Chain A
Amino acid sequence: MNSKESIMGLVAVGLSHKTAPVEIRERLTIPADQLAEALDRLSTMKELSESVILSTCNRVEIYARPRADRSRALAAARRFFQGLYQYPGLNEALYHFDAHSAVEHLFRVAAGLDSMVVGETEILGQVKSAYLTSQAHGSTGKITNVLFQRALFVGKQVRSKTFISEGASSVGSIAVQLAEKIFGPLNKHRILLLGAGEMAEVTARHLLSQKAGQIVILNRTFDRAAALAKQLNGVAGSMDRLEDELLLADIVICSTSADKPVLSKALVEPVMKVRRGRSLYFVDIAVPRNVDPAVNGIDNVYLYNIDDLKSLVEENMARRKGEVARAEALVTGLAAEFYEWIRATLEGKTKALRHKS
């Protein structure tokens, strides 16, 4: 019985944003091009058989099957981390799970419950590519194959059954969602960046990922504008083109360091007359603000400043957090079911996994 118990085990060892600061994580992260080598190193460890490495900027984890004894497998996995980067606190930063709790941990990770931003969806893709890399490398086996496919299923299931991934989780993405609720599809719309700050760039990138049309960057110093324009595949100009560009733009992202509003009601009102009521959306992420709040009072002009956007993000995050308990319960149930499946499979019985619930 005891030997069987150890065979059917599964171990997970790793560290994440919850246990290690970024200075440590960045040293341990295994870049994609070095994963094969790391998997090779794992396969030379005789304590482990099947293994998958999940390495993102927020976590580095190994999922493996012990070849014989569970505690020796755990020790081997820890040794692997020490081989990556030696530092005094490493042992404390590393957590480990085995058997049932390892399954549950992976499912929680896939569901975004262990993420820095609860419910974020990027992790699901990262779990998938970690699995596919290990599989292509020949490191996965009977248990890990089904485990990871199941984890991806659980990740999707939890997101569709709960509101854990609902609503934008960043200022950039909420700004884009609002744009889509004003204009509809953004593919023909023109973005104007006032100021070439980092936040403006992030928001612009979000918009470009929604296939927004042309992008124009105006900045006090033309060189900065030109440099960013090159990166974003846009057009650069100097601030004296402001009024002309306001006539053409649909979305204006303001992030200049001006200490007084650059855009006043007196400036925007005549612009709207010429635009014949075409909607104009200002995203003012500058502090102090670039756009006079009175501008929001003009018909067909919509103005959101950094605080408006932040409070919307906070609302979304609060709603997500409110869903955590439901999501956890779902994960626990699915993990228990899966663990029963492993047990049955190893005992030679057949048991079906439900794909709908």
Chain B
Amino acid sequence: MELYFFWGAFAAYTVAMSLFIGYAITRRELLAQVAKKGLVFAVICHGVSLIIRTTIARAMPQHSWYVPWSNWFESFSFFAAVIVVEYLIIQRKHEIPILGAFVTPLAFISMVVAIHSPFGTQIPNLPPALQSYWMAIHVPVMFISYAAFANAFGIGIAYLLQEYQIKSRKPSHLMFRLPALDDLDNMIYRVIWTAFPILTLGVLLGARWAYDAWGRYWGWDPKETWALVTWLTYLIYLQMRLIAGWRGRKTAYLSLLGFVVVIGTYIGVNYLSPLHAFLSNGGK
């Protein structure tokens, strides 16, 4: 039943993304207006599907701690929703719908990855380590920061495209549709500046959970090490921008690199860390 809403959300994300890209190409205001509404509709659908799923799962005795981000399918689906919610917040502040063409594809890809989960879309049986209230605290905090970095990545791509256009001295028509370089640069900075403390909090909460679960705060498990690498990458971004006076292209590249590290931490490390292999259902 909740899957109907999930598929509804997926369809609406797909439509909204196509409309945003259509808007970027044709600059028809109407497309952007419909795309924004479609995106809001998609997130509502998605939210409803998550609520129903949680309600169903919690009715089962073994799932009293269930939260709808417990396995591959659920976590990518949830990630997509958070990316879009954060995009909508940015959109409310800046009203630059063309950025939707750069951010919604990331949510779309996350949904596709969710759908192609090698472990199916059913409600999982959680390994004991995940049956904890920390699951409801640590994971969403991480996702909020990761999704913000996804938004910074999308805006970073827009920045680099715009920078290339202007530097080339032969800008195409796209240049007039993309926002100003300084505005994009500031947006990336503000998103990362906001997300960094959240990431820090998420890592600290993770350490606290690790203490509860495994009896130590930090064990240089690959996931922990990579989380630290992510944290350091964004720390370097902020330090370069604030102290070394880097701006523009170099910092935009750093914001892209940061998100690549996020993806590595999020997915890749599952195959390296026996303790954190939750996505691949191996976590014990």
**Shortest CB–CB separation between residue A178 and chain B, in angstroms?**
7
A300 to B178, CA, bound (A): 17
Contacts of A273 in B (CB 8 A): 245
- The answer on a CB contact under 8 Å between B181 and A182 is yes
Is A277 in the interface zone, CB < 8 Å from B? yes
Is A6 in the interface zone, CB < 8 Å from B? no
Nearest A residue to B185 by beta-carbon distance? A279
Nearest A residue to B186 by beta-carbon distance? A184
- The answer on a CB contact under 8 Å between A184 and B180 is yes
Is B179 in the interface zone, CB < 8 Å from A? yes
Is B247 in the interface zone, CB < 8 Å from A? yes
Is B162 in the interface zone, CB < 8 Å from A? yes
- The answer on a CB contact under 8 Å between B180 and A182 is yes
Contacts of A181 in B (CB 8 A): 162, 166, 171, 175-176, 178, 180-181
A302 to B170, CA, bound (A): 12
**Shortest CB–CB separation between residue B35 and chain A, in angstroms?**
21
Per-residue interface assignment for chain A, residues 308 to 347, with 1 indicating a CB less than 8 Å from any chain B CB and 0 otherwise = 1001100000000000000000000000000000000000
**Shortest CB–CB separation between residue B239 and chain A, in angstroms?**
13
Nearest B residue to A305 by beta-carbon distance? B169
Per-residue interface assignment for chain A, residues 253 to 286, with 1 indicating a CB less than 8 Å from any chain B CB and 0 otherwise = 0000000000000000000010011110000000
From A182, A278, A308, A312, B247 is in contact (CB under 8 Å) with A278
- The answer on a CB contact under 8 Å between B167 and A302 is yes
**Shortest CB–CB separation between residue B235 and chain A, in angstroms?**
19
A273 to B249, CA, bound (A): 15
Contacts of A302 in B (CB 8 A): 166-167
Question: When A304-B169, A308-B169 are in contact, do A184 and B248 touch as well, CB less than 8 Å?
Answer: no
Interface residues on B, range: 20 to 34
**Shortest CB–CB separation between residue B60 and chain A, in angstroms?**
54
Nearest A residue to B247 by beta-carbon distance? A277
Which residues of chain B in 208-250 are interfacial with respect to chain A, using CB atoms and an 8 Å cutoff? 245-250
Question: When A181-B181, A182-B181, A312-B171 are in contact, do A277 and B245 touch as well, CB less than 8 Å?
Answer: yes
Is A58 in the interface zone, CB < 8 Å from B? no
Contacts of A308 in B (CB 8 A): 169-170
A277 to B249, CA, bound (A): 10
A278 to B182, CA, bound (A): 9
From B171, B175, B248, A277 is in contact (CB under 8 Å) with B248
Contacts of B179 in A (CB 8 A): 184
Question: When A277-B247, A279-B248, A299-B248 are in contact, do A183 and B182 touch as well, CB less than 8 Å?
Answer: yes
Contacts of A167 in B (CB 8 A): 176
**Shortest CB–CB separation between residue A45 and chain B, in angstroms?**
49
A277 to B183, CA, bound (A): 14
Contacts of A279 in B (CB 8 A): 181-182, 247-248
**Shortest CB–CB separation between residue A322 and chain B, in angstroms?**
13
A296 to B178, CA, bound (A): 21
Per-residue interface assignment for chain B, residues 144 to 187, with 1 indicating a CB less than 8 Å from any chain A CB and 0 otherwise = 00000000000000000010001101110001101111110000
A96 to B253, CA, bound (A): 63
- Spell out B's residues near A (CB within 8 Å): 162, 166-167, 169-171, 175-176, 178-183, 245-250
- Spell out A's residues near B (CB within 8 Å): 167, 177-178, 180-184, 273, 276-279, 296, 299-300, 302-304, 308, 311-312
Extra 6 A-B pairs, beta carbons < 8 Å, given A182-B182, A279-B181, A311-B170: A167-B176, A183-B180, A184-B180, A273-B245, A279-B247, A304-B169
